[in-house]
Amino acid sequence: MKATIIRRGMATLTGMLASVFLMVGTASASEVTISHYFSGPFTSVMQDVFNDYNAATGFTMKDSPVGHEDFKTDILVRGASDSLPDVFSYWAGARVQFVVDSGDLSPIDDMWNRDGLDNVVAKAIADSATLYNGQRYLVPMQFHYAGMFFNKKVMADAGVMEMPTDWDGFLALCENLKGQGITPIALGSMNRWPAQFWFDYLILNTAGPDVRAGLMDGSVAYDAPEIADAMSIWKDLVDAGYFAENANAQTWTDASDKVAKGEAAMTLMGTWITGYWNGLGLEPDVDYDFFPFPTINADAPVSVVGPIDGLVISANVQNMEGAEAFLSFFVSDLDTQVNWTNAVGAVSANVNVDPSVYNALINRVISTVGDAENFAFNYDLATPPPVAEVGLSMFQEFMENPDDYEGILARAQESAQAAF
Amino acid sequence: MERSALYWRVVLLAAPVTVFAVLVIWPLFSSFFYSFTNWNGFNPEYDFVGLENFAKIGSDRLFIGAIINTTIWMVAAILLPTLLGLALALLLDSKVPGGPIFKTLFYLPICLSAVVVGQIWIWIYQADWGLLNTVIRAVSGSSFNYAWLAKPDTSLGSVIVAWSWQQTGLSMVIFLAGLTSIPNDLLEVCEIEGASTWQRIRIVLIPLLTPATVVVVALSVINSLKGFDILYIMTGGGPFHSSDTLAMHMYNESFKKYLMGYGSAISVVLFLIALTIIRIYFRNLKKVDEIYG
- State how far the Cα of B186 lies from the Cα of B182, in Å rounded to an integer: 8
Long-range contact list for A203-207, CB < 8 A, 24+ apart? A203/A227, A203/A230, A204/A300, A204/A303, A204/A305, A204/A374, A204/A376, A205/A293, A205/A294, A205/A295, A205/A296, A205/A297, A205/A300, A205/A303, A206/A230, A206/A233, A206/A296, A206/A297, A206/A300, A207/A300
Please state the rounded mean pLDDT for residues B141-162.
92
- Structure confidence at residue B77 (pLDDT): 85
Q: How far is B61 from chain A (nearest CA, A)?
A: 9
Domains of chain A: 8-142+310-352 (3.40.190.10), 146-306+375-419 (3.40.190.10)
Question: Does the beta-carbon distance from A76 to B151 stay under 8 Å?
Answer: no
Task: Give the β-pairing of A87-91 and A308-313.
Answer: antiparallel
Task: Give the β-pairing of A264-270 and A146-151.
Answer: antiparallel
Question: Does the beta-carbon distance from B255 to A99 stay under 8 Å?
Answer: no
CA A6, A8, A13, A18 torsion-angle sign: positive
Inter-axis angle of helices B260-292 and B26-34, to 10 degrees? 130
- State how far the Cα of A385 lies from the Cα of A420, in Å rounded to an integer: 10
- State how far the Cα of A268 lies from the Cα of A287, in Å rounded to an integer: 16
- Kindly provide the residue ranges of all beta strands, DSSP E only, lying in A2-145, ordered along the sequence: 31-35, 60-63, 87-91, 131-132, 135-136, 138-143
Asked if omega into B239 is within 30° of 0 (cis), the reply is yes
Question: Does the beta-carbon distance from A80 to B259 stay under 8 Å?
Answer: no
B contacts of A192 (beta carbons < 8 Å): 238
- Using a cut of 0.95, tell me whether the model's pTM lies above it: no
Suggest the residue from A132, A393, A401, A411 to mutate for an interface test with chain B (most B CBs closer than 10 A): A393
- Whether the predicted pLDDT of B136 surpasses 60: yes
How far does chain B reach from its first CA to its final CA, in angstroms? 37
- Cβ of residue A278 closer than 8 Å to a chain B Cβ: no
- Cβ of residue A190 closer than 8 Å to a chain B Cβ: yes
Q: Which amino acid is at A294?
A: P
DSSP B99: H
- Cβ of residue A283 closer than 8 Å to a chain B Cβ: no
Q: Which of B156, B140, B138 is nearest to B148 (CA)?
A: B156
Which residues of B have a CB under 8 Å from any CB of A?
4, 8, 11, 40-45, 56, 61-62, 126-128, 145, 147, 149-152, 238-241, 252, 255-260
- Structure confidence at residue B293 (pLDDT): 57
- Say if residues A300 and A125 touch (Cβ distance below 8 Å): no
Suggest the residue from A246, A261, A420 to mutate for an interface test with chain B (most B CBs closer than 10 A): A246
- Structure confidence at residue A165 (pLDDT): 94
Question: Does the beta-carbon distance from B255 to A76 stay under 8 Å?
Answer: yes
- Cβ of residue A163 closer than 8 Å to a chain B Cβ: no
Q: CB-CB: which of A10, A79, A415 is closest to B41?
A: A79
Question: Does the beta-carbon distance from A248 to B147 stay under 8 Å?
Answer: yes
Q: How far is A391 from chain B (nearest CA, A)?
A: 10
Suggest the residue from B240, B251, B259 to mutate for an interface test with chain A (most A CBs closer than 10 A): B240
For residue B48, with 0-12 CB atoms within 10 Å meaning exposed, 13-18 middle and 19 or more buried, which class applies?
exposed
Q: What is the DSSP string of A407-419?
A: HHHHHHHHHHHHH
Weakest mean pLDDT among A366-375, B14-23, B121-130: A366-375
DSSP 3-state assignment of A58?
Answer: coil
A347 φψ region: left (φ > 0), alpha (ψ -120 to 50), beta (else): beta
- Structure confidence at residue B286 (pLDDT): 74
Q: What is the DSSP string of A219-285?
A: SS-TTSHHHHHHHHHHHHHHHTT-BPS-GGG--HHHHHHHHHTTSEEEEEEETHHHHHHHHTT--BT
Look up the ipTM and state it.
0.76
B contacts of A3 (beta carbons < 8 Å): 4, 8
- Cβ of residue A393 closer than 8 Å to a chain B Cβ: yes
Weakest mean pLDDT among A7-21, B74-88, B227-241: A7-21
Q: What residues are paired with A306 via a beta bridge?
A: A377
Long-range contact list for B125-129, CB < 8 A, 24+ apart? B125/B149, B125/B158, B126/A249, B127/A245, B127/A246, B127/A249, B128/A246
- Structure confidence at residue A5 (pLDDT): 39
Q: Which of A19, A67, A27 is nearest to A251 (CA)?
A: A67
Question: Does the beta-carbon distance from B40 to A3 stay under 8 Å?
Answer: no
Q: Which of A286, A131, A303 is nearest to A206 (CA)?
A: A303
Q: Which residues of A124-147 are buried (b: 16+ CB within 10 A; e: fewer)?
A: ebbebbbebeeebbbbbbbbbbbb
In angstroms and rounded to an integer, the radius of gyration of the C-alpha atoms of chain B is 24
Domains of chain B: 55-114+147-292 (1.10.3720.10)
Question: Does the beta-carbon distance from B151 to A400 stay under 8 Å?
Answer: yes
- Say if residues B46 and B222 touch (Cβ distance below 8 Å): no
A contacts of B152 (beta carbons < 8 Å): 400
Longest dimension (CA), chain A: 92
Tens digit of each residue's pLDDT, chain A (420 residues)? 444 433 444 444 444 444 444 444 445 678 999 999 887 778 888 999 999 999 999 999 998 778 777 787 788 778 877 889 999 999 999 989 988 988 889 999 999 999 999 999 888 788 888 999 999 999 999 989 999 999 999 999 999 999 999 999 999 999 999 999 999 999 999 989 999 999 999 999 999 999 999 999 999 999 999 999 999 999 999 999 999 999 999 999 999 999 999 999 999 999 999 988 998 999 999 999 999 999 999 989 999 999 999 999 999 999 999 999 999 999 999 999 999 998 888 889 898 998 888 899 999 998 898 888 888 899 999 998 889 999 999 999 999 999 999 999 999 999 898 888
- Structure confidence at residue A23 (pLDDT): 41
Q: CB-CB: which of B45, B62, B150 is closest to A190?
A: B150
Q: CB-CB: which of B8, B61, B257 is closest to A385?
A: B257
Q: Which of A232, A312, A270 is nearest to A147 (CA)?
A: A270
Q: Which of A365, A367, A360, A420 is nearest to A389 (CA)?
A: A420
Question: Does the beta-carbon distance from A248 to B150 stay under 8 Å?
Answer: yes
- Cβ of residue A10 closer than 8 Å to a chain B Cβ: yes
Q: Which amino acid is at B250?
A: M
Q: CB-CB: which of B8, B152, B252 is closest to A400?
A: B152
Cα–Cα distances in angstroms (integers) from residue A411 to residues A380, A408, B80, B128, B206, in the given order: 18, 5, 35, 32, 49
CA A240, A244, A246, A251 torsion-angle sign: negative
- Cβ of residue A16 closer than 8 Å to a chain B Cβ: no
